[in-house]
């Protein structure tokens, strides 16, 4: 990097000086100082100002009075300091009028949602190669077509912001300090029609998320790397990790967490908006899962209702499908997958690697005899740290048996036999985590980068 001169605004005098110096070319029309800006230089780097609607959205987003408890805003669960995801490692958050009501799914990040298309059973895959399939939409099951529409779910759910009704929300906005801004944005009669007013509240929240740069900063080390910017040199470990990420024969993460050029000019979103059934372990930390008859099956319900099985257990290819989330800022998360059953990147990567080769460390065993001391070779990174003799592993225990056939066979979850060699080595997984760490926004290149280390060598 020391070979490169930073081209930046501060070098304008140098650029101009070079132009003014010109060459010996007598045709001075070609050596005119064209660098003289004719528009404000600040335009080059400043964020576009938020529209009025988005300014309203900004106020709404952080307004805790917009909840039944008076204590919960959008930002409570979608914390800007955690890439607009949960600021803790709870599988599900608490809400409701008493702030004690548990949710049923982990909080997704609100970053990089601006390119998400509405859900379709046969969405064209942004990679331009994969066959169309279920994709798009908001929430883990895609049941909301737009960010605006999605906002009504947390606003009105009894275990989230727990407003009694849209009118309840509108009334609170009408009483808020920013009500004049709302009227400025949507007209002096904007509170007269409750339905319209609520729709405008939703639109304002969407506008804020669409317009404010903090929802799509693209400021990770990976962004510097792909954009060929100073400071974007990946380490050897990170580059190896990128290879694991994309290699169809090892990590194959890119197959769903697509990082290439995508829809509408998007690039490197680390999701293809698609849905897969991978049947992560049932998370008994979610109170709803105490009910043995309850299964959260994503696209086929029960939260989503337009793809329900005709009868319980009836064939339905949508059962078990959850959306592939963006992996940007993944290392800021404290709870992974729709049910938050995994709590670290290390564990997550190992789950992908050994779900099939070592299911006994991810799913409960019934009928076995626990060993007092596990064998030395028994992995310690799983959800289950007790080794059993005999018994049956309840693999795919969060999916009714009728839908096990829906499970996606792609690498690295290719259903290889228990005891087989896993797809990735420990070294590959270490590199992969190093790479995933480059997806965290707000990267500042260190002044003195370490010469050695796990993610360097």
According to CB under 8 A, which residues from 191 to 230 bind other proteins?
Answer: 213, 216-219, 223-230
Q: Determine contact, residues 382/356, Cβ cutoff 8 Å.
A: no
- Outline where 269-391 has alpha helix (H): 345-354
What residues numbered 282-321 form the site for other proteins, per CB under 8 A?
A: none
Among 65, 194, 233, 347, binds other proteins (CB under 8 A): 233
Of 323, 276, 269, the residue nearest 115 (C-alpha): 269
Among 93, 97, 252, 259, binds other proteins (CB under 8 A): 259
Two tokens, residue 282: 């049932």
What is the closest distance, in whole angstroms, from the C-beta atom of residue 50 to other proteins in the complex? 11
- How crowded is residue 453: how many other Cβ atoms within 10 Å of its Cβ? 11
User: What distance lies between CA 10 and its chain's CA centroid?
Assistant: 36
Among 75, 120, 121, 127, binds other proteins (CB under 8 A): 127
Q: Which residue's entry shows tokens 């004690």?
A: 100
Q: Determine if 46 is a binding residue for other proteins (CB under 8 A).
A: yes
Residues sharing a CB contact under 8 Å with residue 452, sequence separation 6 or more, in sequence order: none
Of 212, 232, 214, the residue nearest 224 (C-alpha): 232
Q: Determine if 132 is a binding residue for other proteins (CB under 8 A).
A: no
What is the closest distance, in whole angstroms, from the C-beta atom of residue 276 to other proteins in the complex? 18
Helix (H/G/I), strand (E/B), else coil: 275? strand
Two tokens, residue 246: 């994309």
Cβ proximity to other proteins, 15 vs 171, nearer residue: 15
Cβ proximity to other proteins, 231 vs 379, nearer residue: 231
Among 108, 251, 262, 423, binds other proteins (CB under 8 A): 262
What is the closest distance, in whole angstroms, from the C-beta atom of residue 231 to other proteins in the complex? 8
Cβ proximity to other proteins, 18 vs 303, nearer residue: 18
Q: Determine if 128 is a binding residue for other proteins (CB under 8 A).
A: yes
What residues numbered 376-395 form the site for other proteins, per CB under 8 A?
A: none
> Which H or E run contains 94?
strand 94-95
- How crowded is residue 452: how many other Cβ atoms within 10 Å of its Cβ? 8
What is the closest distance, in whole angstroms, from the C-beta atom of residue 351 to other proteins in the complex? 24
Q: Is 400 exposed, middle or buried (0-12, 13-18, 19+ CB in 10 A)?
A: middle
Spatial separation of the C-alpha atoms in residues 2 and 441, rounded to whole Å: 24
Q: Determine if 440 is a binding residue for other proteins (CB under 8 A).
A: no
Residues sharing a CB contact under 8 Å with residue 332, sequence separation 6 or more, in sequence order: 82, 83, 85, 440
What residues numbered 10-39 form the site for other proteins, per CB under 8 A?
A: 11-12, 14-15, 17-19, 21, 23-30, 32-39
Q: Determine if 80 is a binding residue for other proteins (CB under 8 A).
A: no
Q: Determine if 236 is a binding residue for other proteins (CB under 8 A).
A: no
Spatial separation of the C-alpha atoms in residues 370 and 385, rounded to whole Å: 10
What is the closest distance, in whole angstroms, from the C-beta atom of residue 320 to other proteins in the complex? 26
Q: Determine if 47 is a binding residue for other proteins (CB under 8 A).
A: yes
Among 60, 66, 72, 254, binds other proteins (CB under 8 A): 254
What residues numbered 48-77 form the site for other proteins, per CB under 8 A?
A: 48
What is the closest distance, in whole angstroms, from the C-beta atom of residue 330 to other proteins in the complex? 17
User: What distance lies between CA 155 and its chain's CA centroid?
Assistant: 20
């Amino acid at each position: 990097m020391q070979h490169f001169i930073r081209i930046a605004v501060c070098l304008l005098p140098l650029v101009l000086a070079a132009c003014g110096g010109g060459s010996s070319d007598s045709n001075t029309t070609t050596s005119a100082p064209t660098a003289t800006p004719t528009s404000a230089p600040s335009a080059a780097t400043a964020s576009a100002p938020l529209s009025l609607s988005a300014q309203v959205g900004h106020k709404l987003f952080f307004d805790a009075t917009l909840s039944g408890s008076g204590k919960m805003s959008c930002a409570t669960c979608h914390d800007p300091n955690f890439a607009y995801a949960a600021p803790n490692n709870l599988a599900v958050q608490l809400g409701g009028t008493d702030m004690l009501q548990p949710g049923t799914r982990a909080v997704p990040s609100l970053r990089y949602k601006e390119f998400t298309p509405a859900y379709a059973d046969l969405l064209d895959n942004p990679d331009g190669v994969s066959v169309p399939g279920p994709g798009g939409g908001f929430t883990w099951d895609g049941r909301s077509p737009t960010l605006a529409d999605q906002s009504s779910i947390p606003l009105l759910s009894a275990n989230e912001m727990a407003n009694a009704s849209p009118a309840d929300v509108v009334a609170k906005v009408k009483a808020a300090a920013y009500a004049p801004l709302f009227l400025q944005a949507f007209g002096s009669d904007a509170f007269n029609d409750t339905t319209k007013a609520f729709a405008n509240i939703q639109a304002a929240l969407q506008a804020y998320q669409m317009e404010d740069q903090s929802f799509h900063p693209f400021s990770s080390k990976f962004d510097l790397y792909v954009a060929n910017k100073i400071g974007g040199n990946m380490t050897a470990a990170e580059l190896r990790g990128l290879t694991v990420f994309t290699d169809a024969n090892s990590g194959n993460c890119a197959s769903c967490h697509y990082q290439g050029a995508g829809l509408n000019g998007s690039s490197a979103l680390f999701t293809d908006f698609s849905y897969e059934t991978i049947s992560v372990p049932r998370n008994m930390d979610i109170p709803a899962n105490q009910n043995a008859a309850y299964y959260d099956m994503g696209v086929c319900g029960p939260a989503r209702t337009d793809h329900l099985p005709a009868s319980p257990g009836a064939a339905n290819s949508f059962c078990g499908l959850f959306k592939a989330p963006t992996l940007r800022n993944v290392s800021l998360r404290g709870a992974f997958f729709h049910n938050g059953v995994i709590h670290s990147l290390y564990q997550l990567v190992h789950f992908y690697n050994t779900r099939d080769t070592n299911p006994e460390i991810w799913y409960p065993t019934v009928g076995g005899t626990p060993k007092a001391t596990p064998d030395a070779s028994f992995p310690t990174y799983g959800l289950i740290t007790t080794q059993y003799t005999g018994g049956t592993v309840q693999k795919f225990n969060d999916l009714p048996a009728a839908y096990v056939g829906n499970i996606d066979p792609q690498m690295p979850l290719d259903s290889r036999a228990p005891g087989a060699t896993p797809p990735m080595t420990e070294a590959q997984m270490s590199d992969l985590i190093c790479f995933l760490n480059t997806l965290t926004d707000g990267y500042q290149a260190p002044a003195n980068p370490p010469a050695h280390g796990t993610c360097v060598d």
